[in-house]
Every structure is written in C-alpha cells, then in structure tokens.
Amino acid sequence: MSSAVVGGSPTPILRDIYNADKHRKPPTKSFPEWMKENPVHPAAEETQIPTEHEIAQFRKPLRHNVCVELLSEGFHRSFAQMFVLLQRWDGAEEHPHKLHTLQQHLTHAETAEREGQYGEAYDNHMLLARFFTEPEDEWLKHHFLQLALDSARKFKMDSGKREAESNLHMGQVYLQKSQLERAQEHYEVFYHLTLGRTWQDPSGRMHHSRSCEELQKVFTLLGQRLLQEQDYVHAIKMFTKAYEMAKESGDRGSEGEAAYRLGLAYQSAGDQKTAKQFFSVCMEISTTLENTDSLGGTYEAIAKSLESEGKLTEATEFLERFAEISLKSKQDRNLEKASMCLGNILSLRKQYDGAYEHFGRAYEIACNLVSARLQKAQVCAGSARALSMMQAYHRLIETPGRQKIDRIISWKKRRNDTLSAPLEEEMKR
C-alpha cells in the first residue's frame, strides 16, 4: 500500500490514514502547557474589538467625527467655527484633508488664544487663508482673512505690523468683491499704520508705497464710478485724492496717469483751464519717462480742451504733435485718431484741402487695420473732398461758357481733379 502511495503518484486528496505519521502534527500538549506557550495578551485581545471611536469613524459622516473630536478635546470655539463653515459648505465630505487641516489649525489657534498668544493665532489663521487657493474656496479664504484681522487687532506686541498686513489683505478681498467703500476703509487703516514706518514686504517692497498704490487704485475706481453717475464734484475730489496718493508713492508713471485722469475729470466737468494744467504736468512726466503712448494721449486731451474753448489754431498744433509722435512710434491706431481729429478741425475752419489730406491718411490706415472706423473715415474723406471741390464747381456752374461745360463733363467722365485748373484759362483770358 505504502509503496503505491510513495512511487511518483500525484499528491493524494485525502490524507493518508495509514501513513499518518508523516502528516501528523506534534502530539497535543496538555492545556496549561499550551496556555503557557501562547499567553493571551490583554492588549491584543482588546484591539480585536473595535472601540466606539473606530465604529463611529465608519458609521458617522466625516463632519460628525471631526466635530465630535474637536469638542471632546475641549475646543468648543473651533467647533463653533467649524460648524458654521460646514453649514455653508456643501462639498465638505469629499475633501477629508481639508477638514483635517482645518481641524489642526483651528485647534492651534484656539490654544494660542486661550493663552493670550494672539500672534500665534494670527499665524494659524493666515496659514489657513493661504491653504485655500481654489476658486470655489474663495469664501473660506475671505473668512480666514477676516479672522486673521481680528486676532491681529488683539495682538499689541509688534506695534500693528500684522494688523496692517491683514488690513491690506482684507482690502484686496473687498476689491475683488467690488465693494469699494469697505476696501477703501481697510486701505486707509493700512495707510495710516504704515505712515512713517519702514516695514517691508517679503519681496522687499515698502508697505507704505504699496498702501499708496492700492489707495490710488481704489480712489480711481470710485472716481470712475462717480463719473458714470455724472457726479462731477465728488468724482474730481476722488481723482485729486488719487493723484496725491500717486505723488506720495513716488512712482512717476502712476503719477502721470493720475494727472491724466484728473485732467479728464476736469474736462468732463467743464473746467478746461485746470484740466490743461494737469495735462501739462502729465506731459512733462511722460516726456521725462519717454512714454510716447501717454504723451500722445495727453496731446489729444489737450487738443480737445482747446477745441472746446474754441482755440482752434492751438488745438491744431497739438494734434499735429500727436500725429507726429504716433507716426514716429508707428502707432497706426493713434495716427488714425489723430488724422481724424485734425481733419475735423480743419473742416470746421473750412480748410477742406488740408482736411481731405488727413482724412485720406486716416482712411488708408483704417483699411490696413481693418478698423471699425473704416466707414466713418470713408464718409469724412468723401465729404471733405466734395466740399473742397465745391467752390471750384460752383464757379464753373455760375457763369456759363462752353469750355467750362466741357470741363465739367470731362470731370464727370473721368473724375480727375481738373476743376481747379480752369483758373489758369480764365487768367489767360
């Protein structure tokens, strides 16, 4: 029997009961000896039964577990904040790492607050604000920036540097939300705090100049809004403030821009003289900085003021300067604008030839640029040409004469500019 089993046969399915010795386990010892060999560790036994905590991790939603953890460690303020956030936040379950980060930092912030270490609380809030970078989490970021501001306000040790920084951030938040008045409030606080201090950004930029820049932005936006509502007095006030801010920040470029806008505001209000003052300031700055774009714009604006004052010759002068500059810097669009303006002025003064020249130039550029103003240029050019020919044409029609009629007919056929030529013939006569 055993030889049959041993000799090269496949593994038996059933255990061999006749040769059980080969497969038998070592003889079972008595129970006490076995217990000694395998002592039951009380700790091991307990871990096999899941604790309530572990069960809850499975059964309850994540938000429940996070809240309960916060509370059982005694962080009831963190719990309150988390609860309020979770009520507004629908996608909380899908981002466990966000919830855990929130939990961690909120608890740190609360411990810090309890000990009165508002600086640390501020740091934790800022960390959280920086953590939420996705566009759908914008409101979370704003929330934590607000909290950071609150804790910075309570922190007195660094003479307000953190408060200043958090005011800057809050101002940016409100700017993003287009709530300009609140942004202005925060930026003004920032400005007053940084007045006279040499605090710097991590990138090395002075806080004070930053405050001036931001305030200028806000004032400009406010001023533009007021202009739209046609509240000229207040708009001018806003733009003046913006200009002062720009001057204080020391950035010549923005100073020039601010001067330009202020000038425009005065222009829309109708006060051309003050407008011209500011435009000349802007002109100076642009020339120093060699910014042809703004220079051209300034020339145009000055010309407009002069035009509305009725000083057409000077206006023409400035417009020619504008055209020159645009030509030099090869800015075709501006050149087109300039030519159109020049043409307009000259037609007003009945100098139709000159007007036709400029309109013709504008028309060419408009063709090249495929501009929307093509039709306007066409019309103006055409009308200037017609008006310039008008005089000669009238002369030919008024007094009858065979040659004049010939001339008219040939002109009609060939559309050449030969209408002015008859003058020579008449002179010969």
Which residues lie near other proteins (CB under 8 A)?
Answer: 52-53, 64, 67-72, 74, 76-77, 79-80, 83-84, 114
* Nearer residue to other proteins within complex by CB, 86 or 285: 86
CA–CA dist 296, 286 (Å, integer): 9
* Nearer residue to other proteins within complex by CB, 79 or 352: 79
Least spacing, CB of residue 245 vs other proteins, in Å: 37
Least spacing, CB of residue 203 vs other proteins, in Å: 39
Which run of H or E residues covers position 309? helix 292-309
Least spacing, CB of residue 154 vs other proteins, in Å: 16
> For the chain, how many residues are written?
429
Least spacing, CB of residue 69 vs other proteins, in Å: 8
CA–CA dist 23, 18 (Å, integer): 10
DSSP per residue over 35-48, as a string?
HHHSPPPHHHHHHH
- Identify each DSSP E strand in 289-389 by its residue range: none
Alpha carbon dihedral 145, 146, 149, 154, in 10-degree steps, equals -130
CA–CA dist 243, 255 (Å, integer): 6
Tokens encoding 35: 């217990």
* Nearer residue to other proteins within complex by CB, 74 or 250: 74
Least spacing, CB of residue 239 vs other proteins, in Å: 42
* Nearer residue to other proteins within complex by CB, 72 or 200: 72
Helices marked H in 115-231? 118-131, 138-154, 161-176, 180-194, 207-228
CA–CA dist 408, 416 (Å, integer): 10
Lookup result for tokens 């809850």: 56
* Nearer residue to other proteins within complex by CB, 79 or 359: 79
* Nearer residue to other proteins within complex by CB, 70 or 295: 70
Least spacing, CB of residue 66 vs other proteins, in Å: 10
Least spacing, CB of residue 80 vs other proteins, in Å: 5
* Nearer residue to other proteins within complex by CB, 63 or 237: 63
